[in-house]
Amino acid sequence: MTAAVALCTHNGARFLEPQLASMRTQSYQPAVVVLSDDASTDDTVALARRAFAGADSVVRADAPQLRIIENRPALGVTKNFEGAVRAAAGTGADLIALSDQDDVWHADKLERAARVFAADPAALLLFTDARLVDGRGAPLELGLFESLGVTEAELGLIESGDALPAFLRRNLATGATVVLRRELLELALPFPASWVHDEWLAIVAAVHGGVRVLREQTIDYRQHGGNEIGVNEPTLGYKIRRMLEPRGTRNELLAAKFADLAAWARATGLPADQLSQIEAKAAFELTRSRMPEARLARIPSILRLAARGLYPRYASQGTLDIARDLLQRP
């Protein structure tokens, strides 16, 4: 099996060099690193070229090739990753590893992933835990799964081969840890505008029974304040603050996402049981998005959803989202 890396960058020169070094020193080397740059104005692209110049002699004989795509104007995160994975798939690689610009891979990250895919022909997407580090690379004494509050029940569903219910509640696969089989792209492309790339790849893989998980940490996931998508320690105070945030457009965006997923599921001709789960989730989020601004006026809708047991089944925070729907300000 061969592997390619889809690495997306935007003004990433500050952290990029150690990430590139960690790719070039993998125990299982990728054949190609596709770097898709989104209109950087710093030294990102030049730094990457310098890092790979003479890499075959400096690091090892099988060091990866570097291919650079420069997007001007910028495409945005999801479209940038779509272009990167298309280009990585075009290399003919069996596996495609997603990569952010500011992390560091552990030396056996790709080797561990390759073993999973080699042993399991039905595996389409693998995600893992990660070690959280600060901007200087110092450990934060917190793992990614811990910070996301990933539960044994969620991991158990994935490990049993029934990942769809878990991923209908919320995304659990952080893209920086993801490795996918090239064939998944035949099912998942193009990425809908309403979905972030890693969420879409994971839900499509879940629909097809192809999500796998490693509980081990395979990267250092850097938290430096400028992350496109960061994480927070799941303290009680943090959860309460989330519940009390203004409603904003969150519910409308969730409704749009799952309406698009339901439309895709119908067009794809999924089995009736999967389609019914997806349509029920879409209806749940649509109902939440249409709740009145006045808190007291939301109570009847909340009670109806709660009575049907839909919050623990479909809300990202389970029954805690009852309080969020009731308490959030307009």
pLDDT in tens, 164-207: 999 999 999 999 999 999 999 999 999 999 999 999 999 999 99
Q: Does a structural domain hold residue 149?
A: yes
209 and 266 fall within a common domain:
no
Query: pLDDT per residue over 239-277, tens digit each?
Result: 667 666 788 899 999 999 999 999 999 999 999 999 999
User: Amino acid identity of 200?
Assistant: W
pLDDT of 46 > 90? The answer is: yes
- Say yes or no: 101 and 171 in one domain: yes
Burial 289-324 (b: 16+ CB within 10 A, else e): bebeeeeeebeeebeebbeeebbebbbebeeebbbb
- Tens digit of each residue's pLDDT (9 = 90 or more) over 119-136: 999 999 999 999 999 999
Q: Are strands 32-38 and 3-9 parallel, antiparallel or unpaired?
A: parallel
Looking at the structure of the chain, the number of domains it has is: 2
Q: Is the pLDDT of residue 80 over 80?
A: yes
Residues 76 and 11 in one domain: yes
Q: Are residues 210 and 242 in the same domain?
A: no
Rounded-to-integer distance, Cα 85 and Cα 195, Å: 16
Tokens of residue 74, six digits: 């910028």
Q: Do 86 and 157 reside in the same domain of the chain?
A: yes
Query: Would the pLDDT of 227 be above 50?
Result: no
Looking at the structure, do residues 112 and 251 belong to the same domain, yes or no?
Answer: no
Instruction: Give the three-class secondary structure for 104.
Output: strand
> Is the confidence at residue 231, as pLDDT, over 60?
yes
The pLDDT value recorded for residue 230 is 52
Closest Cα partner for 219 from 12, 3, 18?
18
pLDDT of residue 16 exceeding 70: yes
d(CA 196, CA 231): 16
CA angle 9, 79, 49 (to 5 degrees): 30
Rounded mean pLDDT of 217-234? 72
pLDDT surpasses 60 at 57: no
Is residue 230 situated within a structural domain? no
In contact, 194 and 257? CB cutoff 8 Å: yes
What band does 212 get if pLDDT is binned at 50, 70 and 90? very high
Query: Residue 153, SS3?
Result: helix
Helix (H) or strand (E) holding 50: helix 44-52
Mean pLDDT calculated for residue range 196-221: 98
Going by C-alpha positions, the residue among 7, 226, 26, 219 that lies closest to residue 100 is 7
CA–CA separation, 269 and 288 (whole Å)? 27
Q: Any long-range contacts for 225-229 (C-beta under 8 Å, 24+ apart)?
A: 225/135, 227/102, 228/77, 228/100, 229/196
pLDDT at 288: 97
Give the end of a domain, one of 192, 222, 252. Answer: 222
Does the pLDDT at position 238 exceed 80? no
pTM: 0.92
* Same domain assignment for residues 201 and 279: no
Q: What's residue 63's pLDDT?
A: 77
Give the mean pLDDT of 15-31: 95
* Full domain range(s) for residue 63: 3-222
Residue 68: CB atoms within 10 A of its CB come to: 17
Contacts 24+ apart (CB under 8 A), 140-149: 140/223, 142/233, 143/217, 144/174, 144/177, 144/217, 144/221, 144/231, 145/215, 146/234, 147/231, 147/232, 147/233, 147/234, 148/172, 148/174, 148/231, 148/234, 149/234
Residue 199 lies in a domain: yes
Average pLDDT over residues 4-11: 98
Element (H, E) at 56: helix 55-58
On whether the CB atoms of residues 80 and 41 are closer than 8 A, the answer is no
Residue 13 has pLDDT above 70, yes or no: yes
pLDDT for 218 equals 98
Say if residue 68 is in the same domain as residue 152. yes
Is 227 part of any domain? no
Q: Where on the phi/psi map is residue 305: left (φ > 0), alpha (ψ -120 to 50), or beta?
A: alpha
Return d(Cα 78, Cα 82) in angstroms, integer: 6
Instruction: Give the domain-ending residue among 166, 191, 222.
Output: 222
Residue 137 and residue 36 share a domain: yes
127 and 45 fall within a common domain: yes
- 160 shares its domain with 285: no
229 in any annotated domain: no
First-to-last C-alpha distance (Å) of the chain? 52
Examine residue 74 and state whether it is found in any structural domain, yes or no. yes
